[in-house]
Amino acid sequence: MTWKRSHHCSELTTENTGEEVILNGWVATRRDLGGVIFIDLRDRYGITQIVFYETDKNLHKKAEQLRTEYVIGIKGVVEKRGEENINDELTTGGIEVRVTDLEIYSEAETTPFEIKEGIPTNEETRLKYRYLDLRRPDIQENMVVRSDFYQSTRAYFHNNEFLEVETPVLMKSTPEGARDYLVPSRVSPGKFFALPQSPQTYKQLLMVSGFDRYFQIVKCFRDEDLRADRQPEFTQIDVEMSFVDEDDIMEMTEGLMQKLLKDTVDEEVTAPFNRMTYKEAMETYGTDKPDTRFGLEFADFSELVKDSEFNIFSSTVEKGGAVLGITVPGQGDMGRGVIDRLTERVQNETGAAGLIYIKLNEDDGVKCSVEKFLKDETVDAMVDEADADMGDLVLILAGASPDVYKQLGQLRLMMGEEYNLIDEDAYEFLWVTDFPLVEYSKEEHRYHALHHPFTAPHPEDLEELDDNPEEVRSRGYDLVLNGYEIGGGSIRIHDRELQTQMFELLGIDKEEAQKRFGFLLEAFRYGAPPHGGIAFGVDRIVMILTGGTSLRDVIAFPKNQKAQSLMDNSPDYVDKEQLDDLHINLKEYAKEEQQEQE
RNA sequence: GGUCCGGUAGUUCAGCUGGUUAGAACGCCUGCCUGUCACGCAGGAGGUCGCGAGUUCGAAUCUCGUCCGGAUCGCCA
């Protein structure tokens, strides 16, 4: 029989002294001193210490059976602890509950790992026993933040007259972008649904329908390889608005972010957020999602060294590459061994050919690793350009553009982490704007939409659309927080002609466009409002808010790197009858794999 | 698909220049203990050193292959 609790395990204080209470929870730890047994009783709210005394004979005997993770209910009396026994670590540390009755609801085998905060158990074991991992207080706290995050989001949009509309999970496969997860149709042999990579077309259609302001907290799916910050199924806050421009979307976003941070982690952030063009971001930080919690901005030495004797510099610049550097403060006396290891790491992790440096320290003065190839005044000019002072270290990469920018961007992040230049408590938001509309794919010999094919080109660049498509800027924008891309969107094309032109540019001919997106083009015939929107990565934002570095710590049941769920062993083989229903035959090698398993 | 790191007790790891019976901490079990809160003390159980070949008198240790996990590049409109 279950006793209904009167309080949870983080609730009782000295104010409750003398009250008869009922608690339910898990045995977190047991401290058996012989004549007295202390149990830390845990639920998702916290811990309360309960006590059994030898003088309560039968009860004490029963309590001796208790083991870690047993689920119990107790009746008892709240007692104030003696001055010397108060535990300041617990909210309930001023009291304990003297047990008068004990019910063991459920015994527990020894768990494969301890249910404690911050244990370094490997991912595989944690994922296999995910329900136990989720019992750990730090993960539970993450889920609380996540739940607060949902509530805050809904309140914000509801208060601002947005409508929450659900869009289909079974939809049409789109040719552009990430690989789709496919769902075979039983009633239409040979045909497939796709799971949405995002509800992009639906939300645009909702604008055509006149819904004006839409949002949705929605699952999206992308069948691509995983990373620490990338899961195959993830959650977005999807937003679309009519009769707006970039500034409206940004303002709405900034209000949302302010509210979210206030409601979840009680942080104030100032708006408007900084803005930076894509070009500026790439040239200053070597990435389109710069972590602006620290400096180490790039210095460009290309002009200074283009005529130097040092062949690596001069030939790099001649071939259109760049010679770039960052100044690491206070590392001017870095030892040879450290630099050698760093060089190796840079080569391995970024693919840079080599690492050149200038050390500035009191003992050696200004010392450049390639000084015999460079004039003193060139080195001095570089130091000047890099804004380096005595005691600093200038790290230099030379290489083809844009690769060298990305490489130095990675090196910059390494240095920021290595030398603790990052303010871990800061929340640095940044808008990145003016993305290129398209980029050329050498493999496919065609242009790709950098954002997606519905993104509007910048009106000033329209005339370049035919001749110089790569020069055309888009009306897209990304929101970056602490070096993570947490959102992205654009002002859309709402003109049928322009949309058709865009498809042509992307190598999607009329027939193909009709087949894939005919419904959208058709919708645009009947009065489409100017509109734009944005989508935010819920998992990533919650990860940042909880101070984590892996999405798995903020998703209740995440997938591993192979997109498998180790707990329930999915994906898994299915019966032949199921496949027959779906009109599917397996390829030979897939059949062999299946037979090997069985 | 490429690169890198890892796989030894339930967990986290040490051992790896080949050599006695593979260790530590935590956890687990038993006993003692009335003020613990990382309880303490005494004792104990627990190992396919991922798997398979090879080298060797001898392999956790060296070589090759393979499987598994993670990070990362490609990929992710």
Which long-range contacts link A569-577 to residues 24+ away (Cβ below 8 Å)?
A573/A597, A573/A598
- By mean pLDDT, which of A68-77, A249-258, A271-280, A412-421 is the weakest? A412-421
CATH of region A14-106, choose from 1.10.10.10, 3.40.50.720, 2.40.50.140, 3.40.50.2300: 2.40.50.140
Q: Nearest residue to B26, CA vs C1'? A: A114
Let me know if domain A140-276+430-553 sits in CATH 3.30.930.10: yes
pLDDT given at position A119: 65
For every residue of A144-212, DSSP letters joined together read HHHHHHHHHHHHHHHHTT-EE----SSB---SSSSPPPEEE-SSSTT-EEE--S--HHHHHHHHHTT--
Do A566 and A124 touch, CB atoms closer than 8 A?
yes
Strands A46-53, A95-106: pairing is: parallel
Cβ A70 vs Cβ A103: under 8 Å? no
Please, what sign has the CA dihedral across residues A64, A68, A72, A78? positive
> In Å, what is the separation between the CA of A102 and the C1' of B74?
59
Q: In percent, how much of chain A has pLDDT > 70?
A: 99
Give yes or no for residue A267 having a pLDDT over 90: yes
Distance CA A50 to C1' B34 in A: 14
Round the average pLDDT of chain A to a whole number and report it.
Answer: 92
- How much helix, strand and coil, in percent to the nearest 5, is found in chain A? 35, 25, 40
The percentage of chain A sitting over the pLDDT mark of 90, rounded to a whole number, equals 72
* Residue A451 annotated in ligand binding: yes
* Structural contact between residues A299 and A387, judged by C-beta atoms closer than 8 angstroms: yes
Separation in Å: B34 C1' and A55 CA: 10
With CA of A197 and C1' of each nucleotide, the nearest comes out as B77
| A14-106 and A140-276+430-553 agree in CATH topology | no
> What is the number of other CB atoms lying within 10 angstroms of the CB of residue A33?
8
- The amino acid occupying position A164 is E
Our measurement of CA A39 to C1' B49, in angstroms, reads 37
Of A53-62, A88-97, A177-186, A508-517, the least confident = A508-517
Res. A348: pLDDT tops 80: no
Residue A65 assigned to a binding site: no
Highest mean pLDDT pick, A245-249, A334-338, A507-511: A245-249
Instruction: Kindly state the helix (H) or strand (E) to which residue A41 belongs, with its residue range.
Output: strand A36-43
- Per-residue b/e over A508-535, b at no fewer than 16 CB within 10 Å? beeeebeebbeebbebbeeebebbbbbb
Spacing of A546 CA from B35 C1' in Å: 36
Is A539 part of any known ligand binding site?
yes
Which bases of chain B are under 7 A from a protein CB atom?
Answer: 1, 3-4, 10-13, 26-29, 32-40, 68-77
A23, A73 contact by CB (below 8 A)? yes
A412 annotated ligand binder: no
Over residues A552-556, mean pLDDT: 91
Q: Is pLDDT at A118 greater than 80 in this prediction?
A: no
Tell whether residue A223 is among the known ligand binding residues.
yes
Over 90: is that where the pLDDT of A549 sits? no
Q: Are strands A322-328 and A299-300 parallel, antiparallel or unpaired?
A: antiparallel
φ, ψ (nearest 5 deg) of residue A422: -95, 130
Nearest residue to B31, CA vs C1'?
Answer: A34
pLDDT band for position A515 (50/70/90)?
confident
Phi, psi of A489 (to 5 degrees): -170, -170
Measured CA to C1', what is the nucleotide nearest A451?
Answer: B77
Residues 6 or more apart from A452 whose CB is under 8 A from it?
A: A176, A177, A200, A490
pLDDT at A447: 87
d(CA A100, CA A96): 13
Segment A539-561 mean pLDDT: 91
Query: Whole-number Å distance, CA A169 to C1' B11?
Result: 40
Closest nucleotide to residue A174 (Cα to C1')?
Answer: B77
Q: CA A280 to CA A475: how far, in whole Å?
A: 16
- CATH pick for A294-422 out of 3.40.50.620, 3.30.1360.30, 3.40.50.10380, 3.30.460.80: 3.30.1360.30
Average pLDDT over residues A380-403: 92
The annotation status of A485 as a binding-site residue, yes or no, is yes
User: Which DSSP letter does residue A273 get?
Assistant: P
